[in-house]
A and B are shown apart, each in its own frame.
Chain A
């Protein structure tokens, strides 16, 4: 059974840092592109970042570029999101998502974790 399980969320002050982790199982992690998607309370889904199979290519939403870093450890089947210079507007549930790739792009987000809540507040 495919599973992705996020951890690392919590309360952090504005300007602070947090690192999210996502443990993957039930599929060949090293063959899959992975994404982070977030959802602010009562709001819609927002794509945050993507990493390719081996971590050699990453992309980010403009709203987090320069502050967030996505990475992966294929030996540990784990995805990470390092979040620095956090702002109140980064408050959201963060989902770890597997992407299926065709033609060099993710064409579907097919497996989602249950999410981990990040709250940025003083």
Chain B
């Protein structure tokens, strides 16, 4: 049950697009379509952004999109805004009916 690997930090200017990677193994990310992404502002609970690799909850911003290739999933934030400055976590279903989160990525808006 090792954590999925994410870059510690990613930054971008307002209006730009950034991508956060999430690397696992064939036992988690690569083996299932059950990758999800979460946004967490300081002192707040995480919020679901993307589920099942690329689906957005209804009514949520379409600036967030997800994809997966092999053992690596990705979250792209388009049209970066100041309010997007937060921590982001990926998550995946894993073998033996367990779940694993990524190490987390701090997004900074320059």
Q: Which of B69-110 contact A (CB under 8 A)?
A: 89, 91, 93, 96-104
- Does A75 lie at the interface of the complex (its beta carbon under 8 Å from any beta carbon of B)? no
Contact of B47 among A45, A50, A100, A112 (CB under 8 A): A112
- Chain B contacts of A45 at CB under 8 A? 38, 40, 46, 89, 91, 101, 104
Known contacts A105-B34, A109-B38, A110-B57: A44-B45 contact under CB 8 Å? no
Cα–Cα, bound, A106→B45 (Å)? 19
Which residues of A lie under 8 Å from residue B36 when comparing CB positions?
A: 107-109
Complex CA gap A114/B33 in Å reads 28
Q: Is there an interface contact between B1 and A106, defined as CB atoms closer than 8 Å?
A: no
Instruction: Specify which chain B residues have a CB less than 8 angstroms from the CB of A37 in the assembled complex.
Output: 101
How many Å from the CB of A52 to the closest CB on chain B? 10
Residue tally, chain B, CB below 8 Å to A: 27
The secondary structure that dominates the A interface is: strand
- Alpha-carbon gap, A90 to B100, bound state (A): 17
Contact with B along A70-109 (1 / 0, CB 8 A): 0000000000000000000000000100001010011111
Q: A45-B104, A46-B101, A107-B51 are in contact. Are A62 and B45 (CB under 8 A)?
A: no
Count of CB-CB pairs between chains A and B under 8 Å: 69
Q: B: which residues have CB within 8 A of A?
A: 1, 3, 32-34, 36, 38, 40, 45-48, 51-52, 57, 89, 91, 93, 96-104
The distance from the CB of B35 to the nearest CB of chain A, in whole angstroms, is 9
Report Cα–Cα, A109/B46, bound state, in Å. Answer: 9
Whether A50 pairs with B101 at a CB distance below 8 angstroms is no
- With contacts A44-B3, A44-B89, A112-B45 taken as known, whether A106 is within 8 angstroms of B52 at the C-beta atoms is no
Chain B residues whose CB sits within 8 angstroms of the CB of A113 once the complex forms:
45
4 new A-B contacts, CB < 8 A, other than A47-B99, A106-B99, A108-B52, are A45-B104, A47-B98, A95-B46, A105-B93
